[in-house]
Amino acid sequence: MAEQEKEWQSVDWEGVKTCLVIMAHPDDPDISCGGTATLMAQAGIDVHYMILTNGDKGNHNPEITHEELVLMRQKEQRAAAETCGLKNVIFMGEEDGFLQPTRELRERVVRIIRSLRPEIVICQDPTAYTSGTGYINHPDHRNAGLVAFEAIFPASDNRMFFPEMLDEGFLPHKISQLYITRFSDPNTRIDVSAVAETKIKAVFCHKSQFAEREQQAMRRWMDRWGEENEDGTRTYWEHFQVMRFERRRTDREVEEEEGEQDTDE
């Protein structure tokens, strides 16, 4: 189906108070959904970034130690989040390049989901082994998607998982929407033109990743995703597969519905 004929799903942020973005590396949220995060923050939604790995492989300079790079990347990610109007970045500190969906990590992510109680989670695509025709998708990106999926379902919303959390006050939580960042066959696109400059600024906060000369390439990359309008301006999109989940009914709602059925008969 041609892009212009595609029926896009409408975006629904009604009643959304909190969004948690779960990604593999510092800079992943800015590149994949920084515009959407900015728009959400402007709409009064609390957006939190969770970065699963410490990013300690993301530089080729032999002068820089792993420890220095980890600190540098945290600083860059905090600056980028601040640029987008976000207040909170959670660093999970897993080793870059070897991210695995372990039981231990799932428990840590569930604890945060149950504590922040986001209506929306944005994550990477666990099924994407390739990206376009020129890239093998980074295994951490796939595994970050898997970590997010496995924390959301069934663990976060099931009190039988990690029962000790109940005593600590971390009650089960079901998210209402999942945004999976993807380029192939997305069902939702968000117009981020109004905050495109903010997004680019946030991406360029990651100085350890994008040297001055690479910033030009980055601009061209963004242009590729933009669409030229008749008046010469461009519209920039971020693409997602959005899933929506039914809210679990309360005992009272179930009782009321069963009562109604009884009177119908």
Site for Zn ion, rule CB under 5 A: 25, 28
Q: What's the alpha-carbon Rg for the chain, to the nearest Å?
A: 20
Provide CB contacts within 8 A for 62, sequence distance 6+.
none
Q: Could you tell me the smallest distance in angstroms from the CB atom of residue 144 to Zn ion?
A: 8
Residue 20: strand pairing partners? 48, 121
How near is the Cβ of 76 to Zn ion at its closest, in Å?
A: 13
- Which CB sits closer to Zn ion, 36 or 77? 77
Would you say 21 or 155 has its CB closer to Zn ion? 21
- The answer to whether residues 255 and 261 touch, using CB atoms and an 8 Å cutoff, is no
State the minimum distance, in angstroms, from the CB of residue 70 to Zn ion. 15
**Nearest CA among 125, 124, 118, 126 for reference residue 176:** 118
Query: φ, ψ for residue 237 (rounded to 5)?
Result: -120, 150
Q: CB of 141: closest distance to Zn ion in angstroms?
A: 6
Beta strands 120-123 and 18-23, pairing class: parallel
| Nearest residue to Zn ion, scored by beta-carbon proximity | 25
Closest to Zn ion by CB, 99 vs 165, is 99
Q: Which is nearer to Zn ion, 25 or 239 (CB)?
A: 25
